[in-house]
Structure 1
Amino acid sequence: MVDKDADGRITEAEVKEIISLSASANRLSNIQKQAEEYAALIMEELDPDNAGYIMIHNLETLLLQAPNQSVRVGDSRILSQMLSQKLKPTQENNPLKRWYHKTKYFIIDNWQRIWVMMLWLGIMGSLFAYKFVQYRNKAVFDVMGYCVCVAKGSAETLKFNMALILLPVCRNTITWLRNKTKLGAVVPFDDNLNFHKVIAVGISIGVALHGIAHLACDFPRLLHATEEEYEPMEPFFGEEQPPNYWWFLKGVEGITGIIMVVLMAIAFTLATPWFRRNKLNLPKFLKKLTGFNAFWYSHHLFVFVYSLLIVHGIYLYLTKKWYQKTTWMYLAVPITLYACERLIRAFRSSIKAVKILKVAVYPGNVLSLHMSKPQGFKYKSGQFMFVNCSAVSSFEWHPFSITSAPGDDYLSVHIRTLGDWTRQLKTVFSEVCQPPPAGKSGLLRAEGTNTSFPKILIDGPYGAPAQDYKKYDVVLLVGLGIGATPMISIVKDIINNMKMEEMEEDSFPGSGLENGNYNKKNNKGFKTRKAYFYWVTREQGSFEWFKGIMNEVAEMDEQWVIELHNYCTSVYEEGDARSALITMLQSLHHAKNGVDVVSGTRVKSHFAKPNWRQVYKNIVLHHQGARIGVFYCGAPALTKELRQLALDFSHKTGTKFDFHKENF
């Protein structure tokens, strides 16, 4: 393509053109910008005599050379073959045995969720049956029939679910329970938002049953009742029989019920992924009514819904005694608890003020905020906090993983601009940032150089699955794109603990703190001895987000405690002709300068997507029989594959993989 005169000679300008074409094909904009520099590097390697050209066969030889890869731990061929044999999919001819094995694996992986769901369904079934039987034995049954039994049974489950749905979003309470008690061993606190959604589905079913039973069944039966049939109803509906359907709708019970249904329908609809993430192709005037902001504000209609629910529970047709009106009894404790949570947030965020130390806007629309750490703000790696910016919205609080480590003297978050609020946040901070210096990416602002930063409030920290990484000797950390944020905090925490161990050993030689005893004495609960971090991102510029941390790990981790694996999916897989030159350039540049041309760090990047089965297999080879913690944050698409592989390897190799996914 480049040696057009077919003389076998390639000039530096032609080498530059080859690099530009390869970088363009693999969407590596940074390499494309530095094509001239990399062309000079290749000429220096292949043209030591400064002839002004290189021979094409020399370039071909360099291209065909396999990258020099060092193997940290020698693989055992026998163990690898045995493992491969174990992991071969077996075809079970007996469908009953196949079903048995699938069911067994499912129960082992989900037993915590199963018992919670069974308990929830059992309580709802009991409440429904209790009210159903109660009204089956009342005089109203003779007029309204089973319609009133269904309406009252579903109403009882509604009251229970309307109370219960608040508990999964009481984050302070959940964080305290998972940190201070042993309940985390049997209660899946990490699934709090999923359980919140399940309860919402239960409420929807209850509303449908309650509304249809009343409007389409027992009200019409009451209207068409004879005088003799209506007589037992007089204590409840008055001496005069309701004249028409409108009589029911215009009453307090009817108005409050209809308004509640409308408000809940709005909140439920805008909370679905299609509306919350703007996945629907709607007209412009309707687009404004969707997105995360619409979801957030519509969800706060719950204040009106609960107020109307209490009123609706007071003005009941068939219940006149106050102690039989149980709606307020169901709601009293959850509403009080939730109100206290919101008051704690308001109080804590106001007294724990933060000051912006540094702002950076990176390629890939990522905003990094470094803040001062409030006194007494203690957190664990993997946890998250809520952020509020009054310049964008005084009311909205959004959750973000904390990317700084507990040992750092500052707090940091990295925010990807994906929705309305994050786009506006990036805009207001970009306005106070200076353009980047020549050759630098990102917009930086150090403390004291600008006093007009927008005010930021924080609330937290809150528990998340990733905070449990310290319980495992070996962890596999997987982050997709901005999903690397909680994993970065964990990596930094491991590095800080390594530094503390070295300082302790240097300060107290011969004290018995060598060989890892430091963790057991001075760092209770920290067990991690090996971490594999896989960061998969689509854009080359994304590596700028955590460039400093990657370099720090590569420089200091002499004992190979942390294995860093960066994957750039925009580049064609290794071995593909379209990425061959990039592979060669990467090896050459890393060997000479110790810097990867793709990531710009000391960590060499891989191309395309990881082979996750091979990743699990390599971990089993080096940690046979161990218990591995797998922590994932990113798009839902990869969740099923990673979870299924964790199950497969756990049940076929004897090495236990515990899978955890960030859910907020």
Structure 2
Amino acid sequence: MTRRDQELLNRVRAVFREHAGADRRMGPAQIGELLGIREPRLAGAILRVLSPGSQASIGESEFRLAVIRLVLAEEEARLAFVFRLHDADADGALGTADLASLLEASVRQNRISLTPREMNGLSAALLARADRDRDGRIDYGEFLALLDEFPLVRNELGKSVAPWFRLEEERRKRRRTSRGLPRRLSGFLFGVLPHLVNRYLLGLLYLAANLFLFLRAMQAYAAAGAPLAIQIARGAGACLNLNGALILLPVMRGWLTRLRHSPLAFLLPLDQHIDIHKALGHVLLGFSLLHSAAHLFNYFSLGTPLARSLFGTAAGLSGLILLAAFLLMWSLSTHPIRRSRRFELFFFSHLLYLVWFAAALLHAPNFWKWALAPLGLFVAELAVRRFRASRVSHIREAQLLPSTVTHLKLDRPRSFTFRPGDFLFLKIPALSRFEWHPFTISSAPEQADHLGLHIRGLGNWTRELHERFARIPEEDRRLPVLLHGPYGTPSNEIFRSRIAVLVGAGIGVTPFASILRSLMLRRESGLALSLEKVYFYWLNAGQESFEWFTDLLARLETRGMSDFLELSMYLTGVRIDATSGLMKIGMDLLGRRDQRDLTTGLKTITSFGRPDWESIFSQLARRHGYGAVSVFFCGPYALAQIVRFAARACGFRFRKENF
């Protein structure tokens, strides 16, 4: 036995012992737990195939032998496993009863909602397509011929079953698209490198400025004969002046929106403004701690009472206030706090910036020189926000959608002008007198009578919004609201692109809903567009989430835009495996026949599982050229990293929404 075989054997043994019962055997319940299968019929069918001689349970040696054979087997043996899985009576053919039983269980397992007519149609569609000799059954040869018509499903079924059994996958061959070196180099030079140069050049200038200020302050105090601790404290203080002034710039949403529509937009990292603000906060914390530690060391070395040094001088007292205020702001803005559904902790603690700046102006004699321009711009920004926030609107309609999404239609103020993809801040005094929350506008600018917002219930405020409207009748939902905005986002750049890829995950589709509506209305009105082609990808974990914008997507499909717009839907909560492969084929057959996808009701057929972004972008690069495509993303951070990597590999520009 080779070392690799021994490792596989050990992994299979460990998996079995982790899930086996007290009798050291695995029944349907343990098989279901191992494979993440809730449906007893599916777990029982798998147990039947793994252990043909026993319907009740399987022992370790039998399990180990069956799984290792599957892992090491060629594709045809794995496909034979799928066939036997559906052959409930083990007669070597799949009849109507065999198919109906497993298909119904698979539909329930994957939480797909089908009508009784659609459910019955799955088995009929599979038999009509695969039963070539018209004997009312599908034999193994006909089963393989059917899979040949659906290569993507066959590829998934033919892969190693090791991931299914929570083992490291063996002998998996990843097909990587071959890209010519000249085309890759061209895409990098013209699509990615300019943005990397701008970003890293600004970063180097920032680091150089901090280093220069730190060393200059140390040198000045060293020349004056100050001890080393004071030199370090003054160096850190000089850097605090710079970073304390800079930290306001990334949160001036109004000025950032103006910059997005100026020639400077290409030179500045506007898409990363939130990340820059966070980074500056971490830098401020570091220099604050260094500054404080150096002064404390100096106090101890002088032998003066610590309490008198801290509380008996204006510098000491203001320094304590600065450090306490900043530590509170920093600690309550960390990721665990912001994701704990206690937004109010972050919001109200950040109001301490007023205390911090007041104390900084008292503590540091030269800080006003650094902060004058940023504070002036910030005060102007607040004045504009105050003016805009005085615009009162009302909720015209509140519609409750699946997955605790609330669709609000607001009366649109006359002076409210925005671009597709913009967001606004909303306050509903009936819910909270103080809280403002940012939401992307999902309606189009061309819809002059209302503003649309789709709000997912993720935090206390958004969940309360959904629950409140669920409790009250429609006639009582016309509540007053306050708005300020709009503010620009990276999605604004779509209309400057030639080829655009829009990737929305879950409720992250909202900016693209506004953009797609606007594109449809502009094309219908005959307006010229620089965009030549748009590819839209929408990923949802559950079927019900597609209901949020099904009406919009259905309209797009019927407006003759297929030459301009390609739609792709992915149901990521369903994976194609041995239990769902035939279900997917049956749903596709019915969808093609009726020209209506069973998952969404659209003409576009929904794919199961996660997209292969490397393959998708490689195909687009061959079609349009490396570096010719701009990718716009709105969704979770982890998925953003995957899409960004695949896009950059093809020289595509990548833009991500940030709030």
Question: Is TM > 0.5 for Structure 1 vs Structure 2?
Answer: yes
Q: Distance in 2 between matches of 1:44 and 1:246?
A: 84
CA RMSD of aligned residues (A): 3.3
Unaligned residue ranges in structure 2 (runs of 5+): 1-44, 46-85, 129-133, 152-175
CA contact (8 A) 1:536 1:568 kept: yes
**Structure 1 residue 296 corresponds to structure 2 residue 378:** no
Q: 1:127: Cα distance to partner?
A: 2.3
1:551 to 533, 554, 557: 554
Deviations 1:473-523 (A, max 9, x none): 11111111111111222222221122112xxxxxxxxxxxxxxxx51xxxx
**Structure 1 residue 392 corresponds to structure 2 residue 431:** yes
CA contact (8 A) 1:19 1:35 kept: no
TM-score by length of 2: 0.75
CA contact (8 A) 2:126 2:585 kept: no
**Structure 1 residue 376 corresponds to structure 2 residue 418:** no
Q: Distance in 2 between matches of 1:40 and 1:15?
A: 11
Deviations 1:592-635 (A, max 9, x none): 43221112222210010111111112212321356211111111
Q: Secondary structure at the match of 1:355?
A: strand
**Structure 1 residue 20 corresponds to structure 2 residue 104:** yes
**Structure 1 residue 263 corresponds to structure 2 residue 345:** no
Equivalent position of 1:219 in the other structure: 299
The 5 A counterparts of 1:375-454 are 375-409=414-448, 410-432=450-472, 450-454=475-479
The 5 A counterparts of 1:14-163 are 17-28=101-112, 30-31=113-114, 34-35=115-116, 37-39=118-120, 55-57=136-138, 65=146, 84-86=177-179, 108-138=194-224, 141=225, 144-163=226-245
Moved more, 332-341 or 14-23: 14-23
Q: Secondary structure at the match of 1:495?
A: helix
Q: Distance in 1 between matches of 2:519 and 2:530?
A: 10
Report how many residues are paired. 541
Q: Distance in 2 between matches of 1:584 and 1:59?
A: 16
174 and 187 in structure 1: CA distance in 2 versus 1, 3 angstrom threshold: same
63 and 378 in structure 1: CA distance in 2 versus 1, 3 angstrom threshold: farther
Deviations 1:206-236 (A, max 9, x none): 10121011001x223333xxxxxxxxxxxxx
Code of the residue aligned with 1:534 in structure 2: it is Y
CA contact (8 A) 2:627 2:653 kept: no
Equivalent position of 2:600 in the other structure: 599
Q: Distance in 1 between matches of 2:210 and 2:627?
A: 41
128 and 602 in structure 1: CA distance in 2 versus 1, 3 angstrom threshold: same
The 5 A counterparts of 1:529-608 are 529-573=532-576, 576-608=577-609
Q: Distance in 1 between matches of 2:101 and 2:410?
A: 44
CA contact (8 A) 1:67 1:584 kept: no
Q: Distance in 2 between matches of 1:532 and 1:145?
A: 63
TM-score by length of 1: 0.75
Q: Distance in 1 between matches of 2:588 and 2:655?
A: 35
Equivalent position of 2:272 in the other structure: 191
1:248 to 295, 309, 316: 309
Q: Distance in 2 between matches of 1:627 and 1:60?
A: 45
608 and 88 in structure 1: CA distance in 2 versus 1, 3 angstrom threshold: farther
Q: Distance in 2 between matches of 1:425 and 1:626?
A: 43
Equivalent position of 1:504 in the other structure: none
Q: Secondary structure at the match of 2:610?
A: coil
CA contact (8 A) 1:109 1:647 kept: no
Q: 1:370: Cα distance to partner?
A: 1.7
CA contact (8 A) 1:112 1:186 kept: yes
Q: Distance in 1 between matches of 2:149 and 2:454?
A: 34
**Structure 1 residue 365 corresponds to structure 2 residue 404:** yes
Q: 1:107: Cα distance to partner?
A: 5.5
Equivalent position of 1:228 in the other structure: none
1:527 to 520, 526, 530: 530
Deviations 1:222-265 (A, max 9, x none): 33xxxxxxxxxxxxxxxxxxx52221021232222223212211
CA contact (8 A) 1:19 1:39 kept: no
Equivalent position of 1:618 in the other structure: 619
Unaligned residue ranges in structure 1 (runs of 5+): 48-52, 71-82, 90-97, 224-242, 279-289, 314-324, 434-448, 502-517, 520-525, 651-656
Q: 1:468: Cα distance to partner?
A: 0.2
Q: Distance in 1 between matches of 2:521 and 2:623?
A: 25
Q: 1:582: Cα distance to partner?
A: 2.6
Moved more, 468-477 or 613-622: 613-622
Calculate percent identity across the aligned residue pairs.
29
132 and 183 in structure 1: CA distance in 2 versus 1, 3 angstrom threshold: same
Q: Secondary structure at the match of 1:630?
A: strand
CA contact (8 A) 2:542 2:572 kept: yes
Q: Secondary structure at the match of 1:556?
A: coil
Q: 1:61: Cα distance to partner?
A: 5.6
Q: Secondary structure at the match of 1:208?
A: helix
Q: Distance in 2 between matches of 1:395 and 1:42?
A: 57
Q: Distance in 1 between matches of 2:407 and 2:331?
A: 32
CA contact (8 A) 2:95 2:138 kept: no
Q: Secondary structure at the match of 1:408?
A: coil
Equivalent position of 1:282 in the other structure: none
